[in-house]
Amino acid sequence: MHIIILETDLFPDREAMERALTALEAVPMSHRLSRYDLRRADMTNADWDSVLGAVLTGDTIVTV
């Protein structure tokens, strides 16, 4: 399963989500996690295109 993680700081329980996602990353060959830091002020059009491509092809989207 390909899980897309959008890092936004929108939710106060970020630490709990981070622990859960870190546990998923530790399971070999089970899930593929891709992280995108949307908090960056220097995001280019190419960066946003990459995020959009991942969102369209990922199996699950998680916003933290």
Q: pLDDT per residue over 6-41, tens digit each?
A: 999 888 877 888 888 888 777 777 778 899 999 999
SS3 string, 13-30, reads CHHHHHHHHHHHHHCCCC
Q: Which one is predicted more confidently, 31 or 42? A: 42
Q: How far apart are CA 45 and CA 30, in angstroms?
A: 31
Query: Does residue 42 surpass a pLDDT of 90?
Result: yes
Enter the pTM of the model: 0.80
Q: Which one is predicted more confidently, 46 or 22? A: 46
Per-residue pLDDT, 36: 96
Residue 9 Ramachandran class (φ > 0 left, ψ -120 to 50 alpha, else beta):
left
Per-residue pLDDT, 46: 97
